């Protein structure tokens, strides 16, 4: 249960509310190419407007290095908000100072003002208290709804809470509630599907899922390093050699758990190999002996074909059909599935059809999670590449929860304290 006060716990009628949203959306040629995060903020925005607030929204966009950059302006977001809310959204070309204060004072209940990019000021990421005080000067109440930034102690996530009454928005509440429940009291069996490139980036979440999950499946480039740690020649595949000792320690932990309980830690049996990351390149399936760490004796084993071992100039770019089927089968036994990280290089475009040459493994697992094979578990998706993929495939609404925060969701799953949440006011005990 969410333990912080939310906008439902306060009276905002006639008050000026400073809302921290996460509008860090992709923009190309001045146009937003994916407005998922904007849509997710709308329940909070509409609640505040419906309850008579004067609304000021602040956000960051990109990495402008603490100085104004037209390419990182939030002006396109103001235009999109205007369309979605079907009402005028004012915009000011700074987030603090005389210009912002002048426009903020003229706001009336039910009106919206979007401030320019917070990160045009270096003080934002420095968690500067004076900068936070300047932001707070614009409003009466602070509402944190930018889940994607609450794992950072910045001026608009932590310092500002020292100057204004501070509560959570509806998106932040839903994100924290859903992820916390999945990690602390999931419907079992619990399965985790973890991809991505570097083990070191996800060491804490891997360790956590070995502790709490019933089935952990690893894919993506991360699997290459685990396979290399198991003694498999990965040829030209992306392998983080510095992480091999780390991979071995994780495998040891998994083996220890498998001896004590019903548990599976799965590395791919097979994969899609090619000489280059290119849609036009020839691909082939390679396989090797099974590397499944399990307390279940009769898991499927497939002996490798000698001719199918990787060649010296090849790299592994996706899990293979047998591995995809094995993981997909796991989802059919699970009641809850947490997915973070694609299984291959899904951004490589397809020559024909909708699936790229290195996205078939991910596609098979997605179909299984969405009930195409008969059973649909409760699904939670996080991670930038993962969310980006399902947005591209227009599948966001098909999952139970798609997180707006990559790093924040990982840290929350790992059990870390999120500074931007901890800084908010606690609910009063009933």
Residues annotated as catalytic (active site), given as ranges: 37, 198, 384, 407
Residue 130 dihedral angles phi and psi, to the nearest 5°: -65, -40
391 neighbors 368 (Cβ within 8 angstroms): no
Write down the residue that tokens 């860090």 correspond to: 24
H helices within 315-404, ranges in order?
Answer: 321-333, 360-369, 384-392
Pairing mode, strands 283-287 and 270-274: antiparallel
Give the Cα separation of 91 and 124 in Å (integer): 19
Question: Measured on CA atoms in the order 361, 362, 364, 369, is the torsion positive or negative?
Answer: positive
Phi–psi pair at 289, nearest 5 degrees: -65, 155
Between CA 232 and CA 274, with CA 284 as vertex, the angle to 5 degrees is 75
Q: Give the residue carrying structure tokens 């390149």.
A: 281
User: Beta-carbon neighbour count of residue 305 at 10 Å?
Assistant: 12
Give CA–CA dist 399/380, Å, rounded: 7
Burial class (CB in 10 A: 0-12, 13-18, 19+), 185: exposed
- What tokens were used for 159? 């310092």
Residue 426 per-residue DSSP state: B
Please state the φ and ψ torsions of residue 198, each to the nearest 5 degrees.
-110, 130
């Amino acid at each position: 249960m969410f333990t912080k006060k939310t906008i439902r716990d306060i009276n905002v009628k006639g008050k000026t509310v400073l809302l921290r949203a996460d509008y860090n959306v992709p923009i190309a040629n001045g146009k937003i190419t994916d407005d998922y995060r904007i849509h997710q903020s709308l329940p909070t925005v509409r609640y505040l407007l419906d309850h008579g607030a004067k609304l000021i929204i602040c956000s960051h966009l990109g990495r402008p290095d603490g100085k104004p950059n037209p390419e990182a302006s939030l002006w396109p977001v103001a235009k999109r908000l205007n369309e979605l809310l079907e009402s005028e959204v004012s915009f000011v070309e700074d987030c603090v100072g005389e210009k912002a204060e002048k426009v903020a004072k003229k706001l009336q209940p039910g009106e919206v003002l979007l401030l320019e990019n917070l990160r045009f000021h270096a003080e934002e990421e420095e968690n500067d208290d004076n900068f936070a005080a300047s932001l707070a000067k614009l409003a009466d109440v602070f509402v944190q709804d930018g889940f994607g930034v609450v794992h950072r102690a910045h001026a608009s996530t932590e310092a500002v809470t020292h100057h204004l009454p501070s509560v959570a928005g509806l998106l932040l509440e839903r994100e924290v509630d859903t992820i916390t429940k999945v990690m602390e009291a999931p419907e079992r069996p619990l399965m985790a599907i973890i991809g991505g490139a570097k083990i070191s980036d996800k060491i804490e979440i891997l360790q956590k899922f070995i502790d709490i999950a019933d089935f952990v499946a690893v894919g993506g480039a991360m699997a290459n390093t685990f396979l290399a740690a198991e003694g498999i020649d990965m040829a030209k595949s992306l392998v983080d050699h510095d992480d091999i000792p780390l991979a071995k320690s994780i495998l040891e932990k998994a083996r220890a758990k498998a001896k004590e309980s019903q548990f599976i830690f799965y590395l791919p049996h097979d994969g899609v190999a090619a000489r280059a990351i290119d849609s036009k390149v020839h691909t082939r399936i390679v396989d090797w002996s099974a590397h499944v760490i399990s307390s279940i004796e009769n898991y499927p084993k497939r002996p490798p074909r000698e001719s199918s071992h990787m060649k010296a100039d090849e790299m592994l770019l996706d899990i293979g059909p047998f591995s995809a089927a094995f993981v997909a089968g796991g989802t059919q036994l699970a009641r809850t599935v947490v997915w973070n990280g694609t299984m291959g290089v899904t951004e490589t475009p397809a020559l024909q059809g909708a699936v790229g040459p290195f996205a078939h493994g991910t596609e098979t697992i997605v179909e299984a999670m969405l009930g195409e094979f008969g059973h649909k578990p409760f699904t939670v998706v996080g991670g930038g590449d993962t969310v980006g993929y399902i947005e591209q495939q227009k599948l966001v609404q098909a999952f139970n929860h798609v997180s707006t925060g990559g790093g924040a969701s990982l840290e929350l799953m790992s059990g870390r304290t999120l500074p931007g949440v901890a800084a908010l006011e606690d609910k009063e005990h009933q």
